[in-house]
Structure 1
Amino acid sequence: MVNHRATSIIATEMDTNGPVGSLRRFLERSVGGGGKLHYNPRKCSRMVNGHCDDEDGGAWSYRDGEEKCAHGEDNAPRDWKAAMKLPDVFPDVRSAIDFGGGPGAYLMSLRNRGVPTLVTVEPHPLGDCLFANITQDTNDWINAPLSSLPSGKYDLVMTIEVLEHIPVEHHEHIVLALAQATKKWLLFAAAHPGQGGEGHVGPSMKTREQWTEEIQRWTNNRLVVDVAKTSLFHDGLVGILLENSVIFRKV
């Protein structure tokens, strides 16, 4: 969804980018309120093959250098085995939304099983790069008040390997937005410390145990780990989603 290479503290930015330019960027991004930074998920001054390679973050466009769609349904980035398991793990869902879901790579298997309402949250309009029968929400969930975001609208809410790209000070708000949007299920995965990849924000990378503790605490235990669902999803998986993913049930 987003690519944010700068950390949220002045010292790190000054060390990596030079003191004058880094301080200027920090001040431009500051919105007051105790130093909280404004994060613009739509901004990108350097787009490379559909990926935002901007040190100040921004959205993917999913277009290549020739402005063609960078990904089709057969080559979109995803854990194929995990994506194909979703209809069996969630057989009763009739609506799902994927925060940072790109053109719909993880929603395709649900679509192919007849789930009628499928939405990907991406701030940069995807146009004809959006996969068939999937709709897009271009709202800025990171900065929007919770009152303007969906409430109890979707059977399943997902976010897969996204929050590590977003400054840590926005995590609680995003988690509350995801918890608000779901009727019953949240499938969550985000990068752990040391995990490779572009655009990861160091402090935003946490272990699954840390993510789980924060999600349950921020939601006052309105989201609890569903051990059976998580085990079913993990069965047969290898790699980062086996290590990072957890399924919560709303209570």
Structure 2
Amino acid sequence: MLYQLLIAKPKSLFPVKDGVASVDFGTLTYPPVTASQDEAANMVKGYRFTQSLMAYPSSKLAKDFAATVQSAQQEKTPQAMEKAIADYFNTTKGYQGLTFPSYVCASTFVRSFAWQWGLGDDGSPGRTYWLYAASDAGHQPPQDSKESDADSPNHGSVQFTRKDDAPEPADPTDRNSGYTITYTSTDGDTKQLCFSDGQLVDDPHADVPPVCLQGGYGLKSHRRRIPSGHDTRPL
């Protein structure tokens, strides 16, 4: 018997290894499965590639990847399809060695769980997002300003707070990843939000939720005009 196997970090469920487990019919047991550092690093590379696609959706990188996947789907076997996409990754400067299964695991994790979206800049759980409209684009604080994002014209905030009793290992049915996610309006009214397929919604069962915020990534310099190279941050 064969089982699709996904090894993940216990606290976050971030994927570490994607593979297959097969029974040894001689002993009727399953052999040990080991996740290597290289496999774990490849998942992180898949996550970074996902960030790049979100931050630069119209870039040559994103367009070439989309064209490669579309072409690879014409291959006759899954192995040939994966090889075609791996060959594409090897032509890039920052994602050589990345595999299609690692990308799928990482990108699915980003859409399925709130964990990464709730991490602060230091990597620890807990983050506050301030909401802005397109009309606020001309009101960013200058680079040397001491003004905080909270002081800028905004339309409320969304706060990720890690629950004290969040289970570890994490509960795979909890799409909020152990966070309490709260929207606070400029009037001080609050609503509890749920993470659903890459979005924050106040009613996951509604066809059109009254509150629906789409997660994404952008340059760190996008809001405060601080030079940051190609560093990205969640938006």
TM-score higher than 0.5: no
TM-score for the superposition, normalised by structure 1: 0.27
TM-score for the superposition, normalised by structure 2: 0.29
Which of structures 1 and 2 has the bigger CA Rg?
A: 2
